[in-house]
Chains A and B, each alone.
Chain A
Amino acid sequence: MADFVEINSTPEDNFTEADFKLKNNVEDIMIDTNFASQSFWKEVGAQFIKKKSAVFGLIAIIIITVLAIIGPGMNEYSYSDQDLLKKNFAPRIPGIESVGIFDGTEKISTTTGTKEINYYEEQKQPDVYFWFGSDNFGRDIWTRTWSGARVSLIIAVAAAIIDMLIGMSYGLISGYFGGRVDMVMQRILEVSNGIPRLVIVTLLLLVLNPGIITIVFALMLTEWIGMSRIARAEMLKLKEQEFVLASRTLGARPLFIIFKEVLPNIIGPIITQVMFSIPTAIFTEAFLSFVGLGIPVPQCSLGSLISEGFNSFTTHPYQIVPPIIVMALLMLSFNLVADGMREALDPKFKEM
């Protein structure tokens, strides 16, 4: 409607005599300027940008990703450098320290009361700055937080993409062929869905050596089911449509129809599902690290940082705060972006 009004109000409304002549077979008549369709992705993008929470999520993800890439290189520390002389230093940032916050002092609660301690002065390290503080091995928490975020992101994104490939293919094939193939594949899926993923992941990690690849593998085995359900449902909706029939009539093979004809039409719901499975993967990784099945030391992930910080979180709370905030923000942002994408891609959600 808006387009219509806009076009009527343009100066081109001043008709000339040429406008009333028959055009015959000029190509101009093929172009419908009033109802010109916008490209699908342009429309989705416009819908997405309208939702403030989704844009906030996207910006937060970009900032965290950039910091995960460049953050560990921004100061002279590495994630594994230990220096017991500099352990448990509170956050101290040059410049801000003169204001009175982040100046390296922390309150220690003891049985006799609380007192303020500045380890930088006590250990005679006036030139040392730990932006987020240091842990109980004297490692820089800024560096460790961002390299942890890097590991968590790599695990989550890799797991989500592999899940997508497996689940998508499984669901599409099951949905397209139908009949007995579908029956068998769905029974297999039901049985694997009945196994709690906590159990599989835990047992797998006990058997295999811990590390990034193992965790991705364990996540891969458990997270493809939701994706395959969505792919199958979409396939069932589309496979009776004329364009599939046309392609089949032209002699296209099943695999060509599945991946070249149908897949491009259902890419929206699939991407949305990937966005939803990333926070799940981050959470599962964090959970595994907390239980003691995560990334081996001295490497770290957000989960292992939280579980390290947990041991001293009543005495040095600043050690656990950065990884928790980064992880919560990351999960929140991915959920917000996924919500926004779902609404932008699915017109049914627009009214809600």
Chain B
Amino acid sequence: MRRYVLKRVLTAVFTLLAILLVLFILMQLMPGSPFNDEKLNADQRALLYAKYGLDQPVPVQFLRYVGNMLRGDFGVSYKISKNTPISQLIASRLPISIRIGLFAVTIGALIGLVLGLVAALFHDTFIDTIATIISVIGVSVPSYVFALALSFEFGFKLSWFPMLFNSQHELASSVLPSVSLSMFTMASIARFTRSEMMEVLGSEYMLLAESKGISGGALIFRHALRNALIPIITVLAPLIVDLMTGSLVVEKIFAIPGVGSLLVNAIQSNDYNVVISLSFIYSAMYIAIMLVVDILYGIIDPRIRLAKEGD
């Protein structure tokens, strides 16, 4: 077990370093300069470059960069909000994005689980067909289409919820974005739960449990669902990451002051430092989630751990 964990952690560290290198190289390749203001002459430009350390040799810049990033010092924003430390910018916006993301995961996972469970229990009936249709639509329609539809119907026409984010009514404002983000999670979990449940329900240990006289809720929840849940943990991790992607567009649609809209703004105004820092944060979160899920999965299911060690 210790060897397995160590291996996962090492991979994660290398991935993080690789990302830092990629980000750094890309930053060097970026077109234009943050200082392409026509009012600046060459001397002033050189002064600015020196101030931000952009005149040093590349390897020195990179080492300093890695050190700064790991200490959480992302430098300052050049454009969006001049000279504000990026860590401060992100810190003020991250909580709201995480909150909406957590809402979305919770809604999606719960509804998806119920939908998949019901579809598997009433397999090949009308209920199953409906659940399957819902999940196929959820997987195929991008979250921002849901966001637009919901915002048109419930925000614009019916005015049940605010169309744009309003910090005075945070809870009401979070409903539409969370629901539109949760659709994909819901659909994927539903599909996965259904196929896992079908497999478990057809297994011999379920037959044994049934012949021992266990029935109803105990049979389904204690014996079937528990075993079906194990693999679902693995799909949850990539889904959380997909939420990050979705949140970019959904935050733009609902004008939520989160990190997603910050990244979009930074991309559009060529504020490299902010783009790079946010990419780093996204990647670090992604790697952390993957690491936790891998280790969790190894603890829950010894087969995985052993198989990977033999690899």
Are these two chains actual partners, yes or no? yes
Q: When the two chains form the complex, which single residue of B30, B148, B244, B279 contacts A324, counting CB atoms closer than 8 Å? A: B148
A-B contact pairs, 8 of them (CB 8 A): A191-B11, A194-B287, A196-B286, A200-B22, A203-B26, A291-B267, A310-B148, A328-B141
Decide if A344 is an interface residue (CB 8 Å cutoff): no
**310-349 of chain A: CB within 8 A of chain B:** 310, 313-314, 317, 320, 324, 327-328, 331-332, 334-336, 339
Chain A residues in 8 Å Cβ range of B195: 352
Given contacts A191-B18, A332-B140, contact A206 B275 (CB under 8 A): yes
User: In the bound complex, do residue A335 and residue B148 qualify as a contact, i.e. CB atoms below 8 Å apart?
Assistant: no
Given contacts A206-B267, A331-B141, A335-B136, contact A198 B11 (CB under 8 A): no
User: Interface residues of B, CB < 8 Å — how many?
Assistant: 47
User: In the bound complex, do residue B145 and residue A292 qualify as a contact, i.e. CB atoms below 8 Å apart?
Assistant: no
User: In the bound complex, do residue A292 and residue B152 qualify as a contact, i.e. CB atoms below 8 Å apart?
Assistant: no
Decide if A64 is an interface residue (CB 8 Å cutoff): no
**252-311 of chain B: CB within 8 A of chain A:** 252-253, 263-264, 267-268, 270, 272, 275, 279, 282-283, 286-287, 290, 311
Q: Complex Cα distance A313/B267, Å?
A: 24
What's the dominant secondary structure at chain B's contact region?
A: helix
Q: When the two chains form the complex, which single residue of A196, A283, A293, A352 contacts B267, counting CB atoms closer than 8 Å? A: A293
Which residues of A are at the interface with B, using a C-beta cutoff of 8 A?
Answer: 53, 186-187, 190-192, 194-196, 198-200, 202-204, 206-207, 279, 283, 286-287, 290-293, 306, 310, 313-314, 317, 320, 324, 327-328, 331-332, 334-336, 339, 352
User: In the bound complex, do residue A202 and residue B249 qualify as a contact, i.e. CB atoms below 8 Å apart?
Assistant: no
| Shortest distance between the CB of B124 and any CB in chain A (Å) | 10
Decide if B126 is an interface residue (CB 8 Å cutoff): no
Chain B residues in 8 Å Cβ range of A327: 142, 145
Chain A residues in 8 Å Cβ range of B11: 187, 190-191, 194
Chain A residues in 8 Å Cβ range of B18: 191-192, 194-195
Decide if B60 is an interface residue (CB 8 Å cutoff): no
**224-248 of chain B: CB within 8 A of chain A:** 241, 244-245, 248
Q: Complex Cα distance A207/B22, Å?
A: 12
Q: When the two chains form the complex, which single residue of A186, A200, A202 contacts B275, counting CB atoms closer than 8 Å? A: A202
Chain A residues in 8 Å Cβ range of B152: 313-314, 317
User: In the bound complex, do residue B279 and residue A331 qualify as a contact, i.e. CB atoms below 8 Å apart?
Assistant: no
Nearest-CB residue, chain B, relative to A279: B140
User: In the bound complex, do residue A331 and residue B15 qualify as a contact, i.e. CB atoms below 8 Å apart?
Assistant: no
| Shortest distance between the CB of B105 and any CB in chain A (Å) | 17
Given contacts A194-B15, A195-B22, A207-B29, contact A290 B137 (CB under 8 A): no
Nearest-CB residue, chain B, relative to A194: B15
Q: Complex Cα distance A22/B270, Å?
A: 87
User: In the bound complex, do residue B245 and residue A314 qualify as a contact, i.e. CB atoms below 8 Å apart?
Assistant: no
Given contacts A202-B267, A291-B248, A335-B139, contact A194 B148 (CB under 8 A): no
| Shortest distance between the CB of A341 and any CB in chain B (Å) | 15
Decide if B90 is an interface residue (CB 8 Å cutoff): no
Among A187, A199, A279, A328, the most chain B Cβ lie within 10 Å of the Cβ of A199
Q: When the two chains form the complex, which single residue of B19, B140, B263, B311 contacts A195, counting CB atoms closer than 8 Å? A: B19
Decide if B4 is an interface residue (CB 8 Å cutoff): no
Decide if B198 is an interface residue (CB 8 Å cutoff): yes
| Shortest distance between the CB of B310 and any CB in chain A (Å) | 13
Q: Complex Cα distance A293/B266, Å?
A: 12
Chain B residues in 8 Å Cβ range of A191: 11, 14-15, 18
Q: Complex Cα distance A335/B23, Å?
A: 33
User: In the bound complex, do residue A196 and residue B244 qualify as a contact, i.e. CB atoms below 8 Å apart?
Assistant: yes
Chain B residues in 8 Å Cβ range of A187: 11, 14
Q: Complex Cα distance A141/B225, Å?
A: 49
Q: Complex Cα distance A312/B44, Å?
A: 43
Q: Complex Cα distance A352/B268, Å?
A: 47
Nearest-CB residue, chain A, relative to B279: A199
Q: Complex Cα distance A287/B270, Å?
A: 18
| Shortest distance between the CB of B266 and any CB in chain A (Å) | 10
Chain A residues in 8 Å Cβ range of B264: 291-292
Q: Complex Cα distance A187/B279, Å?
A: 22
User: In the bound complex, do residue A328 and residue B140 qualify as a contact, i.e. CB atoms below 8 Å apart?
Assistant: yes
> Per-residue CB proximity of B133-162 to A under 8 Å, as 1/0?
000110111101100100010001000000
7 tightest A-B contacts by CB? A194-B15, A332-B140, A331-B140, A199-B279, A203-B26, A198-B245, A207-B29
Among B12, B241, B267, the most chain A Cβ lie within 10 Å of the Cβ of B267
| Shortest distance between the CB of A349 and any CB in chain B (Å) | 9
Q: Complex Cα distance A181/B139, Å?
A: 36
Q: Complex Cα distance A292/B270, Å?
A: 12
Given contacts A187-B11, A190-B11, A191-B18, contact A203 B248 (CB under 8 A): no
> Per-residue CB proximity of B153-182 to A under 8 Å, as 1/0?
000100000000000000000000000000
User: In the bound complex, do residue B253 and residue A328 qualify as a contact, i.e. CB atoms below 8 Å apart?
Assistant: no
Q: Complex Cα distance A339/B137, Å?
A: 13
Chain B residues in 8 Å Cβ range of A287: 142, 144, 245, 248-249
Among A279, A332, A352, the most chain B Cβ lie within 10 Å of the Cβ of A352
Q: Complex Cα distance A67/B284, Å?
A: 44
Given contacts A195-B22, A207-B26, A332-B141, contact A320 B275 (CB under 8 A): no
